[in-house]
Structure formats: C-alpha cells, structure tokens
Amino acid sequence: MISDGATTIRPEPPVAPAATAATWRVAYRKQILLGGGFLAVLGTLGALIAMAQATASSESQTLNAVIAQQPTVDAAITEFLSAAPIEQASGLDAVRAESDRGLNQYRHALTTVQKQEAALQQARSTLTLLGPLSLGNGPASMLDNRAADALSGLAQADQVLAAAIDQETIGRAVFETVLKEQQMLDAIKQQQYMLADRIDADADHALLPADWRRHYNDVPPQMDLLVGTVGAMIINTDSVAMYTFRSQTGPLAFAQSEVQSTIAEYNNLSGATVMAQNAAWNASRYQPKMDTYDTALSKLKSR
C-alpha cells in the first residue's frame, strides 16, 4: 500500500494460489490414508497371529484329549475283537441289553475319534494357510508332527470301530429277524396263515439294517452269507403260509423243502465253527490296525 505523504511501501501479505492450497490438502489426505492403511495392515497381521496362537493352543488341547481318550478307544476295540456270542438262554431282554451296550460303546468311541480327527485336520489346515504367521507351528513343526502321529493312529481306530458298529448292527438285525421267523412258523402251525404273512412284513423290515451293510468290505464273508440266508428263510416261510392258505400243493412242497434247507444253512452259518471263523477274520484284519493306533499314540506321547 502507498500512502499520500510518504514513500514507504508496505507489501501486502502473500496469499497462496488456490491450486497450491488444493495440492497441500490432497497431500494431507494421502498421508492420512496411508497412515490408516498401515494401521489396518498391522491390525490384520495382529488378528492373524492371534488366530494362529489360538489354533495352535486348540490343537495342543485336542492332542491331549487324544491321549486321554486312548483307554476308552482301546476298550471298545478290545470288546469288539474279543466279544463272544450272547447266549439266548439268558433271556431275550438280556440279549438286547447286551447288544445295546456294545453298540453304544462302539458309537461313543467312534464319535470321539472322528471329532478328534476333524479338529486336528482343521487346525493343521489353518496353520498351513497362515504360513510364517503360524509362528513355528506350521508344517514340519513339532506340533504338526505330533498331530500327524495322532491322525495316523486315529484313522486306524476309525476303521475298526466302524466295522464293530456294522457287524453288531447286522448281528442285532439277524437276531430280531429270526425271532420273527419263529413267530411265522408258530402262526403256520396254528393255521393262522394271514398272520404269518403280516409277520413276514415285519421280518423284512427287521432285516433291513443288515441288508444295507452285508456287502460292506468290513463285514466277514460268512456274515454276508448269513444275512442272505435269513432273507431267503423268511421269504420261503411266507411262501409256505400263502401256498397252504391257497391249497396249492405243488409249489407248497417245494417251498417247504426250501424252508428246511435255509433253516439248516442258518444253523450252520450261526454255529460255533463259523463264529470262530468270523472272529479269526476280524483278528487278522483289525488287530494290526489296533496295534498301529497304539503305536502311533505311544509316539505322540514321546514327542
């Protein structure tokens, strides 16, 4: 500004151009964004590291549970491999109670094993994906090696216990079906042929759990034959009832012969000799798996 009476010049204070001010604002915003992004990255890394620590801790706890539950699993497998046929002289209710007890024992052990397998597999997968953030608990670490030991043993126990459930389920289904067969024969003797036919439907239903499993590869061949024989037996007995009711003497004679034949085959396949063969089949197939399970857990405990 220039005054009227003096030559002093006082410059106006500088004003930043609008473009310059906008540039500084953008730069400031970038600093904020970059700073916020860096903090976000740090937060994510922290969360992933925390996840790794929690996963490793959970995996360690599962391994401890595997060791703690070994006696339960061993007891169920031993029960399966050493189980003797239940004597019916003890009463039908006692037979059913013993069968239920065995099935419950096998199912509980298998559920335990499968939960542990799933937990360890998930933990190993998570720690592998986290890579360096697993903080030394990833592949080839001590924790990972212990989990591998446990999984190798659990896989064997899983197979044995699944076989135990399948075979006990078949045995129970055959037992219930044979009781129905006896009821059908009693009805025929009393000339209640339509009653025998109705019981046949119940017998078919009782045998279904065995029919579904008879061809599984964890079932002894003789047990497969037993299920087929029992199925043929109830069919033939129902035929006798129907042919007698209709007075069809020609096919009746053949059906009666088939009933006698299948009853004889049932007695053979459910006898002590075949039961011993089934036990030997199971021992040769599943005792090594139990041994592998126990060896793997011994290795797990030693690490």
CA distance to 2, 27, 181, 204, per residue, from 212 (Å):
110, 73, 20, 12
Question: Are the C-beta atoms of 70 and 40 separated by less than 8 Å?
Answer: no
CA distance 208 to 230: 11
Residue 241 pLDDT > 90: yes
Residue with tokens 């090594």: 288
CA distance 130 to 145: 17
CA distance 49 to 134: 7
Which pLDDT value is given to residue 3?
A: 44
What are the tens digits of pLDDT across the range 140-186? 899 999 999 999 999 999 999 999 999 999 999 999 999 999 999 99
> What angle separates helix 142-189 from helix 92-130, to the nearest 10 degrees?
150
Which pLDDT value is given to residue 2?
A: 42
CA distance 180 to 189: 14
CA distance 276 to 288: 18
9 φ, ψ (degrees, to nearest 5): -110, 120
What are the tens digits of pLDDT across the range 101-130? 999 999 999 999 999 999 999 999 999 998
Count Cα atoms within 13 angstroms, Cβ side, for 155. Answer: 9
For residues 71-91, give the mean pLDDT.
86
The domain locations on the chain are 18-302
Contacts of residue 6, defined as CB under 8 A and 6 or more positions apart, other chains included, come to: none
Q: What is the average pLDDT score of the chain? A: 88
Count Cα atoms within 13 angstroms, Cβ side, for 56. Answer: 23
pLDDT band at 42 (very low <50, low <70, confident <90, very high): very low
CA distance to 21, 30, 35, 165, per residue, from 25 (Å):
6, 9, 15, 73
Which pLDDT value is given to residue 220?
A: 98
CA distance 221 to 278: 8
pLDDT band at 53 (very low <50, low <70, confident <90, very high): confident
CA distance 226 to 233: 10
